[in-house]
Amino acid sequence: MNQSPYILYSDGNGNIFEDTSLYAVGREGWDAFPVPAEEWIELPAGGNLYELPGRKGIGIDVKTGGMRLCEKGWAVAAFIPPAHTGLYLAAYETMPDAPTLPLFCYTASGWLDNKFYVPAFRIEQDIRQEFIGYDETKINFGVDHLLTAYPNNRLVKHLAENCCLTYRCPAARNLFMQRWECPIPTSPACNANCVGCISFQPEDETIVSTQDRLTFKPLAEEIVEFTVPHLMNAPFPIVSFGQGCEGEPLLMWETIRDAIIEIRKHTSRGSININTNGSKPDSVRALCEAGLNSIRVSLNSAQKHIYTPYYRPNNYEFEDIIESLKVVKSFGGWTSINYFVFPGMTDSDREYEALRKLIRDTDLSMIQWRNFNIDPDWYLGHIGVTETPELIGVKQMMDLLAEEFPKLKFGYFNPPIERIKGNYEMDFAH
């Protein structure tokens, strides 16, 4: 691109317009910044645009070059689809009575030559959550098939009725298309209290969780019953404990251990993964002894003083999550962090140093650069950040880490065993 796109605004009724008197800019931390023209890409398929009530967009005046507000309507942001990482947040000024925004990511956006643009790039070539890849007919057939095959299985019922047909969870929809990564929620409870928890929000909060938390404790038999056929038959199969519709799976480690042992009696195919807050390294060790292949630990920051006010942990410390990564590595397993990217925090010089230390100390296998689904003002307020720190730039930080740690992989999804043990750069055009 040889120029910045124009700013977008909404009329408050869901109609979005461009304002050609202002160029779009981006936000990092609390501040607005011009976005280098080469960092804008067309909004990928599956992306959405949101109007931001009670907020006015910030742009650069095309005549004066000065920054000013767009007074024509509410600000607009983009929700970019999985496999893409956003480099700047939407830039706006928040009015005093503005409502807290729901749990989605709010990437900068603009308009030029009849197209929507976002400052982002594709970090992952895996197509498992590609918007156009979902076939409703196959999904509905799969739902009927599994519900008929396992009529008394509460977990299959939950995954079919809630996850697939209600929340339209991409992972659950892949299960019912009998391909790739299969989700296994197990825990109704959690030992953390994340500010932006997507499965539980306190009554007094104005926003709601995007899905409800599981209400029962599955049995190992219920887990094994549908996961063994998935591992035996699906292409590039992964079964993953730890999903958005539950609490912390490590609180159910005994059931998960028993399920892994039973699964591996039937098949050695595929990868058994756990997405977790990493709070219980001893339980992680027991799962590795049972046959766990990979772990993904979620974190908003590699700095304890930024991590703790967000996760608000019960009876565990930041150091425990580091230990969990080390345990899996000591068993030869694959270790990823589910790294919530927040421009202006992720790319601060102090975060960069802390992340380098985490990678070195744990010999980390992979960073999954995930867009942080949270209201930026609300998040910064909760972690007590009042001004924008010294910044490196998200893309620049990635380049520096890739150069320093050539074995470290970047992506967005848990890799199948074919990538972990085989050709990591394999072609995904299947």
User: What are the residues binding ligand SF4 (CB under 6 A)?
Assistant: 190, 192-194, 197, 199-200, 247-248, 277
Nearer to ligand SF4, 178 or 324 (CB): 324
Tell me whether residue 108 or residue 284 sits nearer to ligand SF4 (CB atom): 284
- Decide whether 109 or 279 has the Cβ nearer to ligand SF4: 279
Nearer CB in complex with ligand SF4: 90/194 = 194
Instruction: Provide the angle, in degrees to the nearest 10, between the axes of the packed helices 318-330 and 349-362.
Output: 40
Helix 349-362 to helix 394-404 angle (10° resolution) is: 30
Beta carbon of residue 209, minimum distance to ligand SF4 (angstroms, whole number): 8
Task: State which residue, 201 or 293, has the beta carbon closest to ligand SF4.
Answer: 201
**Those residues with Cβ within 8 angstroms of residue 24's Cβ, 6 or more apart along the chain or in another chain:** 4, 5, 6, 7, 8, 35, 57, 59, 108, 109, 110, 111, 117
Q: Please, what is the minimum distance in Å from the beta carbon of residue 376 to ligand SF4?
A: 18
The residue written with tokens 């890409």 in the block is 41
- 94-97 long-range contacts, Cβ below 8 Å, gap at least 24? 94/54, 94/55, 94/377, 95/54, 95/55, 95/56, 97/54
- DSSP code at position 40: E
Phi, psi (5° rounding) for residue 5? Answer: -75, 170
Q: Which residues, 6 or more positions from 187, have their beta carbon under 8 angstroms from its beta carbon?
A: 214, 217, 246, 247, 248, 249, 250, 251, 252
Cβ proximity to ligand SF4, 79 vs 340, nearer residue = 340
Least Å distance, CB 190 to ligand SF4, is 3
Among 313, 312, 309, which residue's Cα sits nearest to residue 381? 309
Three-class DSSP category at 266: helix
Give, in degrees to the nearest 5, the angle at Cα 163 between 122 and 150: 125
Strand (E) or helix (H) holding 94 = strand 92-94
Minimum gap (Å) between residue 348 Cβ and ligand SF4? 22
**Least CB distance to ligand SF4 at residue 194 (A):** 3
Contact indicator for 44, 60 with CB cutoff of 8 Å: no
Nearer to ligand SF4, 193 or 215 (CB): 193
Between 92 and 372, CB nearer to ligand SF4? 372
Q: How far is the CB of 129 from ligand SF4 (least distance, A)?
A: 19
When the beta carbons of 183 and 270 are compared against ligand SF4, the nearer one is: 183
User: H helices within 53-109, ranges in order?
Assistant: none
Cα–Cα dist 74/51, whole Å: 6
Closest distance of CB 8 from ligand SF4, Å: 31
Smallest distance from ligand SF4 to CB 333, Å: 20
Shortest Cβ 246–ligand SF4 spacing (Å): 7
